[in-house]
Chain A
Amino acid sequence: DAGITQSPRHKVTETGTPVTLRCHQTENHRYMYWYRQDPGHGLRLIHYSYGVKDTDKGEVSDGYSVSRSKTEDFLLTLESATSSQTSVYFCAIRQGDYNSPLHFGNGTRLTVT
């Protein structure tokens, strides 16, 4: 168990509303990631963090922002949700050095109506 908790596990929201997803880790790892999974696309990187207040964009970052004010928490925010952001969102941590595998949480299923 990599000690990753994602909340909420499920959420339904309306177009145009703000949404924040939370990823919490218990092991003080430096690197944290947000991916989304969609049919036909696999998992795609949204944003990642390499330390407190240190974040960078992934390949599908438009419409998303992140924050990391504490080592253990990495937040993903959709400022104004759109139907194209309906997806399953996974948080991941890297437990070791470069090229260590990422370990994933169990995901948040978000539906934007």
Chain B
Amino acid sequence: DQQVKQNSPSLSVQEGRISILNCDYTNSMFDYFLWYKKYPAEGPTFLISISSIKDKNEDGRFTVFLNKSAKHLSLHIVPSQPGDSAVYFCAAVPNTGTASKLTFGTGTRLQVTL
């Protein structure tokens, strides 16, 4: 049972344009969400996060939007750059316990073309 879903396995975007990566979740107990970027042969790298008390968080070219009623979040990258080509994972943390057990989506491979 996939509690965090990334329904697009891949996405191709031209350099300079906006990349939008989507993530849906089913567990109402999730109250903190994160995006990670992963290059081949490396571990995932934390990118940006958002708490359920917010609906938007911005960090430079990266913005995460959260729609709690729809149980949906998205990551916007503007403008996209070739170095953004990677696999992006969304992850969620429940509001129970203190162990920060992340549940990950299956990932979206972003390719930014010249």
Contacts of A94 in B (CB 8 A): 100
Q: How far is the CB of B73 from chain A (nearest CB, A)?
A: 15
Q: How far is the CB of B100 from chain A (nearest CB, A)?
A: 5
With A40-B106, A50-B99 known as contacts, the answer to whether A99 contacts B46 (CB < 8 A) is no
Number of interface residues of B (CB under 8 A): 26
Bound CA–CA A94/B46 (angstroms): 12
A65-83 residues with Cβ-Cβ distance < 8 A to B are none
Number of interface residues of A (CB under 8 A): 28
Q: Answer yes or no: B25 CB below 8 A from chain A CBs.
A: no
Contacts of B89 in A (CB 8 A): 42-43
Bound CA–CA A77/B93 (angstroms): 26
B81-104 residues with Cβ-Cβ distance < 8 A to A are 89, 91, 93, 98-104
Chain A residues at the B interface, C-beta cutoff of 8 Å = 4, 31, 33, 35, 40-45, 48, 50, 56, 58-59, 90, 92, 94, 98-107
The 4 closest A-B pairs by CB, nearest first: A104-B43, A42-B104, A101-B46, A43-B104
